[in-house]
């Protein structure tokens, strides 16, 4: 089997010939290029060529099946020192956001931080609700076909189709620090925006997604025990997926949740919502969640993609501790059903690439399905 065949087998709850090993190498690769510290054996190689040299699959996260356009919205971006300010002007008012960048982050290809969130006042909510209502979705199936062909046998495109409205609002629009205060201070504006976001997605986005050739969707990002706890999950997230998931599964598509966060308190909600997979699945020592707990609650019904915390690739962790963890992890997930080995969340800029190569060697020799405990 090649890596595409392995992924398709796992999505169909069939055994692969061996455990797929598909970590996200992009941050490490970009940092090595920007700091001119690429190991000699990988110099001059593209990211995909480095993945192949290390015997890795490709995560294939850059495909799309639609693009969005605003109708009647003027978007203006400008730089002010270390800030990048983006303004959205509409007939009923304007909103703005600001990102802060540093030379240190730029040097490693890492993103800046949000310094000013989009939504701060009730009027901001009214403006952004108008923008949501005037957002159009345009099919981009030709882009998917080209990306699918480019990915080839190395992987299977996982198509990002955004976040669930409640969490998109909390994280990206209002920000965690203020979102729940807004929900208490001006609930009508918040609830109206959330309702419109869901309505627009169901009316405009999902028909395009469902008619696309995509097989694996990424929808739901960074949901966590802290910011989407069970009470809020049950009220705002489950009802949304109750409407969406049956349509997706009827088309034979699978849906992954980006799970690089503490999900220990929402494991039952994750399965209840209908996700087929948790990807970039992070575990102890970086989060309270463990592989044992995941298998205990989900069995092989929810596919795990991850399992190797990025911290274990850092020079701060001893080689023996790293190797012991990997061997123990393989014993836990034996015989290897519904499992794709990856790094949660990324192979970071300071990661030791030799450890990635060691895992490749280990799986080449001992990673055939079924694994022995």
Non-local (6+) Cβ contacts of 67 within 8 A are 137, 138, 140, 143
Paired sense of beta strands 74-80 and 83-90, if any: antiparallel
How far apart, in Å, are the Cα atoms of 108 and each of 26, 28, 46, 313?
11, 9, 17, 17
Burial (CB < 10 A; 0-12, 13-18, 19+), residue 55, is middle
What one-character DSSP code corresponds to residue 371? Answer: P
Please name each of the domains of the chain with its CATH number: 3-69+136-366 (3.20.20.210), 72-133 (no CATH)
Side by side, the strands of the sheet bearing 277-281 are: 158-160, 216-221, 254-258, 277-281, 303-309, 339-344
Beta bridge partner(s), residue 277 = 256, 303
Query: CA-to-CA distance for 99 and 89, rounded, in angstroms?
Result: 18
Residue 159, CA distances (Å) to 63, 140, 182, 224 in order: 6, 12, 31, 21
Q: What local confidence, expressed as pLDDT, does residue 328 receive?
A: 97
Whether the upstream peptide bond of residue 345 has omega within 30° of 0, thus cis, is: yes
CB 96 within 8 A of CB 116: yes
Q: Which residues of the chain have pLDDT under 70?
A: 108-110
Q: How many residues does the chain have?
A: 373
In whole angstroms, what is the distance from residue 308 CA to residue 343 CA?
Answer: 5
CA angle at residue 309 from 308 to 314, to 5 degrees? 110
pLDDT of residue 108: 65
Element (H, E) at 332: helix 319-333
Alpha helices in 43-94 (DSSP H): 47-53
Residue 212: CB atoms within 10 Å: 22
In the prediction, which pLDDT does 337 show? 97
Rounded CA-CA distance 307/260 in Å is 10
CA distance 155 to 58: 5
């Amino acid at each position: 089997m090649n890596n595409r065949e392995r992924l398709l087998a796992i999505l169909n709850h069939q055994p692969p010939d061996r455990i797929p090993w598909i970590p996200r190498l992009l941050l490490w690769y970009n940092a090595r290029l920007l700091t001119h510290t690429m190991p000699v054996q990988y110099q001059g190689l593209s990211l995909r060529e480095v993945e192949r040299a290390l015997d890795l699959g490709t995560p294939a996260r850059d495909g799309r099946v639609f693009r969005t356009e605003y109708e009647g919205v003027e978007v203006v971006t400008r730089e002010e020192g270390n800030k990048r300010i983006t303004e959205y002007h509409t007939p009923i008012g304007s909103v703005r956001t600001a990102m802060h960048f540093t030379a240190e982050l730029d040097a490693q290809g890492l993103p800046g931080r949000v310094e000013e969130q989009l939504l701060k006042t009730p009027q901001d909510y009214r403006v952004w609700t108008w923008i949501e209502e005037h957002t159009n979705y345009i099919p981009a199936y030709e882009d998917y076909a080209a990306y699918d062909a480019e990915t080839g046998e190395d992987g299977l495109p996982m198509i990002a189709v955004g976040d669930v409205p409640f969490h998109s609002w909390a994280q990206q629009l209002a920000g965690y620090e203020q979102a729940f205060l807004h929900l208490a201070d001006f609930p009508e504006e918040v609830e109206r925006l959330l309702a419109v976001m869901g309505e627009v997605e169901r009316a405009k986005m999902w028909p395009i997604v469902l008619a696309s050739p995509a097989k694996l969707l990424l929808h739901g990002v960074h949901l966590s025990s802290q910011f989407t706890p069970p009470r809020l999950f049950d009220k705002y997230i489950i009802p949304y997926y109750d409407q969406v998931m049956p349509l997706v599964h009827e088309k034979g598509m699978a849906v992954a949740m980006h799970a690089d966060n503490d999900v220990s308190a929402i494991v039952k909600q994750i399965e209840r919502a209908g996700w087929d997979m948790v990807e970039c699945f992070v575990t102890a020592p970086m989060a309270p969640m463990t592989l044992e707990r995941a298998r205990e609650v989900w069995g092989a019904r929810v596919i795990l993609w991850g399992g190797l915390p990025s911290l274990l690739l850092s020079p701060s962790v001893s080689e023996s501790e790293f190797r012991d963890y990997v061997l123990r992890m393989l014993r836990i997930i034996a015989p290897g059903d519904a499992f794709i080995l990856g790094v949660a969340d990324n192979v970071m800029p300071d990661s030791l690439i030799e450890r990635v190569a060691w895992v490749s060697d280990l799986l080449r020799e001992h990673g055939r399905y079924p694994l022995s405990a």
